[in-house]
Amino acid sequence: MSDIDLSKFEKKMILRNIEREDFEELIALQKICFPNMDLWKIEQLQSHLRHFPEGQFCVEYENKIIGSCSSLIVDFNEYNAQHTWNEITDHGYIRNHDPEGFNLYGMEVMVHPDYRRMKIGRRLYEARKKLAQELNLKSIIIGGRIPNYHLYADKMSPRQYVEEVMAHNIYDPVLTFQLMNGFMVKRINTHYLDDDKQSLQYATLMEWNNVDYLPQTRKQFKTSFPVRICVIQYMMKKIESFDDFAQQCEYYVDVASNYGSDFAVFPEIFTMQLLSFLDEKTPSVAVRKLTAYTEDYLHLMTSLAVKYNVNIVGGSHFVEEDHHIYNIAYLFRRDGTIERQYKIHITPNETKWWGVQPGDDIRVFDTDCGKIAILVCYDIEFPELARIVTQKGANIIFTPFNTEDRQGYLRVRTCSQARAIENQVYTVISGTVGNLSHVENMDIQYAQSGIFTPSDYSFPRDGIVGMCSENIETVVVGDIDLELLRRTRKSGSVTQLRDRRLDLYEVKLKNLDK
């Protein structure tokens, strides 16, 4: 038997999905492959893994990354064939990645020049084809550079150049390779990549068709995705026990259920009503007494959500954690599960009277009606938060609020409507009315709760689905359409999300990637 150690002769080549630890090495590789073009930003690579990790590949050879490719899924019918790279890739962030789309779109392929005779590009293209087959996608589409065209631009048009390459009379390192891998030229796009000086900003739109594609297995798109919301304008009045509070809550959840609502929405700190029978005048002491009812409140709302088959945005409630008071909004799903969102921005009044502490976790929640977020009262007045949750996929932003006067209410309402327009989302505000004469610092309430939409032809004229009459105990029930929202984001009169200048600015969390 041979005693030769074969491991000394092995040269390991691994094709795998990209990981976060690869980012710096990928950027260094890109600088070598495309020295005169813009490089990936760390934030873009993070976004790739957040939205479509299985579509990002790299080739590792002897513990060194020597090639990579990046992709996203789109429904190409929703894009102009004469598109640009920035339009189809969301400026490289792929937040437009559509898991229910039909086409895999290739953003970039790069291979280290020292390894270009080792079939690295072919391995990456085969990985893409395998992925398209596994996901039953109709085709792979790419916008291919023609980097040798600048050598012939004074002699022929881009079309003539492409025809010469297809006839094997001219060699182009990108186009020739793509043709060899089964891609067909569909058209020539202008101004595709602004920094592609070698191609003079031209690109070939090319497609590889998946012969194993089965149309019947793809999603049948809904003509609409209606969601019904019941907003509760809650009356703050004296009660004698927790049972009185529970009875009032159940009444409104029952109303929401009778109307076939998907969500019942309560206001901010409406549980302060419990203080009307606790007989404590010092606000900082009273609020800590209130926290003793946290478990009763959680049990009540969970039971109501399951019993009445309604997702409940449970307003908010003061909770004591590690001797600190937090203002927490809870989501009670109708399947019995619970989520929570801490209020991020604390008003001077909350700090002065109750010593409330801010949270630092901005969350988006999955529901049976899509992704939603909860921004509590003051939080809706900070546009960065709404942009962050929208980037995380939220289609509806719920804002439980509690305001004393019309000025405070108008800040919440106006900002909520602004967030709906600038983020192309639905927003919902739910406030308290009445008064608690037995409770310190809960003197008066002002509210006119409502449901708001983006501003476009597809939505109600004033961007309002419905509003309560001001300062009375009531509800408003309204329908929104998530499919309409999806279409408007892609092809509305204006498309704020797609038209952001991400080359100039961005909104992101510091030291957090949640």
Provide the annotated active-site residues: 268, 343, 377
Neighbours of 482 (CB within 10 A): 18
- Report yes or no: 311 and 374 within 8 Å, Cβ to Cβ: no
| d(C-alpha 493, C-alpha 384), whole Å | 24
**What is the C-alpha end-to-end distance of the chain, expressed in Å?**
55
CB 332 within 8 A of CB 389: no
Contact present, 76 and 372 (Cβ < 8 Å):
no
Question: Nearest Cα to 104, choosing from 80, 135, 78?
Answer: 135
CA distance 430 to 128: 47
Pairing between strand 450-452 and 426-434? antiparallel
Nearest partner of 270 among 296, 240, 297, 307, judged by Cα: 297
Q: Are 311 and 273 in contact (CB under 8 A)?
A: no
Helix 23-33 × helix 42-51 angle, to 10°: 120
DSSP 380: G
In this structure, the strands spanning 396-401 and 370-374 are parallel
Residues in the chain: 514
The CA distances from residue 493 to 89, 424, 485, 488, in Å, are 20, 12, 13, 8
The strand ranges marked E within 49-190 are: 57-61, 64-74, 103-111, 139-145, 184-189
Q: Distance between CA atoms of 235 and 454, rounded to whole angstroms?
A: 29
Copy the structure tokens of residue 344. Answer: 């991020």
* Helix segments in 19-172, DSSP class H: 23-33, 42-51, 85-89, 120-134, 158-166
**Which backbone phi and psi does 252 adopt, to 5 degrees?**
-75, -35
Cβ-Cβ contacts under 8 Å for 42 (sequence gap 6 or more) = 23, 27
In angstroms, what CA-CA distances link 111 with 118, 382, 414, 421? 10, 43, 51, 43
d(CA 141, CA 163): 19
Q: Extract the tokens encoding 132.
A: 């398209």
Q: Count of CB atoms within 10 A of residue 248's CB?
A: 17
**Is-contact 400 317, C-beta < 8 A?**
no
